[in-house]
């Protein structure tokens, strides 16, 4: 069980932050309009994920 978690947890930490962008990407692609997309929020998420990697 411990070996399975050793594989799943790093993969989840890699994929989970990106998964939050999928609905936004689909919305932008569907409407062909990026109104409401905040690059500032993306910057905050990017920095927080980098800090999480350093912590880990």
| Domain locations in the chain as residue ranges | 2-55
Question: 14 falls in which pLDDT band (50, 70, 90)?
Answer: confident
* % of the chain exceeding 90 in pLDDT: 4
For residue 2, what are the CA distances in angstroms to 5, 9, 14, 36, 54? 5, 11, 19, 42, 23
**What does the alpha-carbon distance between residue 34 and residue 48 come to, in Å, rounded to a whole number?**
23
Per residue in 17-39, pLDDT (tens digit) is 778 788 888 888 999 988 877 78
pLDDT of residue 19: 81
CB 49 within 8 A of CB 17: yes
**What does the alpha-carbon distance between residue 24 and residue 32 come to, in Å, rounded to a whole number?**
12
pLDDT of residue 18: 79
pLDDT of residue 30: 92
């Amino acid at each position: 069980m411990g070996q399975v978690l050793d594989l799943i947890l790093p993969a989840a930490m890699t994929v989970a932050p990106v998964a939050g962008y999928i609905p936004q990407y689909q919305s932008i692609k569907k409407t062909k309009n990026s109104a409401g997309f905040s690059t500032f929020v993306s910057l905050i998420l990017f920095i927080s994920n980098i800090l999480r990697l350093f912590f880990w």
